[in-house]
């Protein structure tokens, strides 16, 4: 999917919500555990109930890998279901991959070609040649960690490197990489004040923002400092939406939570 198509979808739905499909069998409604593939059954119900309120779904691969081959089958079924039934949806494999050049190419093929995701998250530590293989794919985005929403973000990301915080160096440096137009960045919502600085470096790039809701970030603050002229934000919520209820009506309850955010987003976009 192109950036333009993503922006068009955002304007049509008046939403820049991304729903994180981080499925934990201990947290889903117990009646689903009888299904042949409880993870896919859960995802399908959530997707069917919320697809008109969001523009993107983001399965975190860790939750699928934790169930071994069965988990990968659930992930494959989920992305195939999305691509077949809701091709307008922007899909993100939250995999945080990165390796030396040839090996990154293997990861890029796995997520962009075999699984046909629109984008994948990557880690920046190994530098240019670990990320450029992902950037080589047309109409695919590579979403690089810049400033994450966890406590450990302060261990290295905010440390000063040659006069500038590391996450700013990462943003700045990556702009010179080949096909950097295909880059987006992960920026945690728990630090809304950082968005002003970030927008000075990447004024138009899309930012994937985790940490709204369960992790304490505030939607209004993030938008105040983070919106670009093309919206430029994908706000992710996972637990706050998908685990709204453990009852039979869990998908409806999830849709209510998604609607609350979508209504706020529509107001902000007006």
136 binds its own copies (CB under 8 A): no
Please identify which residue in 10, 49, 170, 261 interacts with its own copies, judged by CB under 8 A.
170
154 binds its own copies (CB under 8 A): yes
User: What is the distance between the alpha carbons of residues 38 and 61, in angstroms, rounded to a whole number?
Assistant: 16
Strands annotated E in 16-154: 17-20, 56-58, 90-97, 119-122, 141-147
Q: Which stretch binds its own copies (CB under 8 A): 3-11, 60-68, 196-204, 219-227?
A: 60-68
36 binds its own copies (CB under 8 A): no
100 binds its own copies (CB under 8 A): yes
84 is catalytic: no
CB of 68 to its own copies, least distance (A): 5
Half-sphere exposure of 129 (CA within 13 A, CB side): 4
In Å, how far from its chain's centre is CA 60?
8
Q: Under a CB-based contact definition with an 8 Å cutoff, are residues 21 and 57 in contact? A: yes
252 binds its own copies (CB under 8 A): no
98 binds its own copies (CB under 8 A): yes
166 binds its own copies (CB under 8 A): yes
Q: Which stretch binds its own copies (CB under 8 A): 35-43, 101-109, 199-207, 243-251?
A: 101-109
Which residues, 6 or more positions from 130, have their beta carbon under 8 angstroms from its beta carbon?
98, 99, 100, 101, 104, 122, 124
Q: Under a CB-based contact definition with an 8 Å cutoff, are residues 98 and 110 in contact? A: no
> Active-site residue among 11, 77, 96, 128?
96
User: What is the distance between the alpha carbons of residues 116 and 10, in angstroms, rounded to a whole number?
Assistant: 21
Residues between 172 and 191 that touch its own copies (CB under 8 A): 173
Please identify which residue in 91, 157, 182, 236 interacts with its own copies, judged by CB under 8 A.
157
Structure tokens at 67: 């169930």
CB of 55 to its own copies, least distance (A): 23
Burial class from Cβ neighbours inside 10 Å (0-12, 13-18, 19+) for residue 247 reads exposed
Q: Which stretch binds its own copies (CB under 8 A): 82-90, 97-105, 189-197, 200-208?
A: 97-105
CB of 200 to its own copies, least distance (A): 20
User: What is the distance between the alpha carbons of residues 120 and 137, in angstroms, rounded to a whole number?
Assistant: 11
Which residues, 6 or more positions from 181, have their beta carbon under 8 angstroms from its beta carbon?
none
CB of 62 to its own copies, least distance (A): 4
Catalytic residues: 96
| Residues at the interface with its own copies (CB under 8 A) | 22, 60, 62-63, 65-69, 72-73, 76, 96-101, 103-104, 106-107, 109-110, 114-115, 123-131, 145, 148-157, 159-162, 166, 169-170, 173
């Amino acid at each position: 999917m192109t950036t333009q198509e993503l922006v068009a979808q955002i304007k049509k739905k008046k939403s820049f919500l991304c729903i994180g499909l981080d499925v934990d069998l201990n947290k889903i409604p117990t009646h689903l555990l009888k299904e042949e593939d409880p993870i896919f059954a859960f995802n399908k119900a959530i997707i069917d109930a919320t697809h008109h309120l969001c523009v993107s779904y983001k399965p975190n691969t860790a939750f699928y890998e934790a169930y071994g081959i069965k988990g990968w089958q659930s992930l494959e079924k989920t992305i195939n279901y999305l691509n077949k039934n809701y091709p307008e949806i922007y899909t993100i494999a939250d995999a945080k991959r990165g390796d030396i050049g040839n090996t990154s190419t293997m990861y890029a093929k796995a997520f962009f070609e075999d699984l046909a995701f629109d984008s994948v998250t990557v880690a920046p530590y190994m530098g240019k040649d670990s990320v450029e293989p992902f950037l080589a794919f047309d109409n695919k985005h590579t979403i690089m960690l810049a400033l994450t929403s966890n406590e450990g973000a302060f261990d290295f990301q905010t440390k000063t490197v040659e006069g500038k915080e590391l996450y700013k160096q990462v943003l700045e440096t990556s702009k010179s990489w080949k096909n950097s137009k295909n880059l987006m960045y992960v920026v945690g919502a728990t630090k809304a004040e950082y968005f002003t600085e970030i927008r000075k470096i990447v004024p138009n790039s899309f930012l994937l923002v985790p940490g709204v809701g369960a992790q304490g970030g505030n939607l209004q603050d993030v938008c105040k400092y983070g919106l670009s002229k093309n919206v430029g934000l994908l706000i992710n919520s996972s637990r706050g939406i998908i685990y709204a209820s453990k009852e039979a009506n869990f998908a409806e309850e999830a849709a209510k939570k998604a609607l609350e955010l979508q209504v706020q987003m529509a107001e902000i976009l007006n």
